[in-house]
Amino acid sequence: MCEQLKTLGNAADEGVFRAVLESTPVSAYFQEADVDLDFFQQVQAKIDDREQKNLFLQELEVCKQRVMKQYYKRFVQYCKMCGGNTWEAMRKLLAFEMDMCTIMLRVNMLKSTNDSLPGELYPQFGELYPFIHDVFAGLSDYDSVMNALNDYPEYRDCMEQAVTQEKGLLEVFKAKKVAYLEECINTQYNLGFIYAYLQLREMEAENVFLMVQGCVMAQSDAARFQLRK
């Protein structure tokens, strides 16, 4: 990915950069998120600088969230336009997805020096929107985020479960998301069914990848142990 960013950053002019983006289905999201040639040129300077590596990764994540915010906005509009069974099936699922995104953003950026940044990235949909966004603005630790969700027991329980079971918060949220996907699939005869099916298949592929990766690491550790003998 870094090599691709370098290629874009070395583009002679903004026209070349935009031509690359406009050839992809997500070009509109990048443009609406104000991700332009200047951004990639600034990022390029930090790719090979070890001292700025963390800053580079953070800026790349911010870029991703800006693009995802535009994607969610368009996708919600599309589902509303479809109406009927599709909107009924997708409404709860999308609300959970975007609330999950909002909470993860707040937790991951607790140490950010820019207090206004997370608020700029929150999706504009879900059970938490817009009321909790203002509450999240002044929080500084994990417990305060959890306490702010007292009126949303489902999300608070997920955060508590991550602590008590020593799991990653994203892992807990993904497990919870499966129930929403299954509920969406059970509706059938709408686009929500297709979306939920593809999401579950993607999760399945991720799980297979993790299992294979674990097996490879185990074999590598076993080989090193044999060499030491």
Tens of pLDDT, residues 163-211: 998 889 999 999 999 999 999 988 878 888 999 999 999 999 988 998 9
Residues 74 and 112 grouped into a single domain: no
Residues 156 and 47 grouped into a single domain: no
Residues 87 and 163 grouped into a single domain: yes
In tens, the pLDDT along 100-113 reads: 999 998 888 876 65
Residues 191 and 105 grouped into a single domain: yes
pLDDT at residue 6, as a whole number? 46
Structural domain count of the chain: 2
Residues 120 and 167 grouped into a single domain: yes
Residues 106 and 60 grouped into a single domain: no
Residues 57 and 163 grouped into a single domain: no
Instruction: Quote the pTM value.
Output: 0.78
Q: How far is CA 71 from CA 88, 120, 130, 144, in A?
A: 20, 15, 18, 29
Q: Which of 82, 98, 115 is the last residue of a domain?
A: 82
Note down the domain range covering 44.
Answer: 1-82
Residues 68 and 160 grouped into a single domain: no
Query: What is the pLDDT averaged over residues 26-41?
Result: 72
Q: Which of 28, 55, 82 is the last residue of a domain?
A: 82
In tens, the pLDDT along 51-76 reads: 666 666 677 778 888 888 989 999 99
Q: Which of 62, 82, 102 is the last residue of a domain?
A: 82
Residues 164 and 123 grouped into a single domain: yes
Residues 132 and 201 grouped into a single domain: yes
pLDDT at residue 2, as a whole number? 42
Residues 48 and 132 grouped into a single domain: no
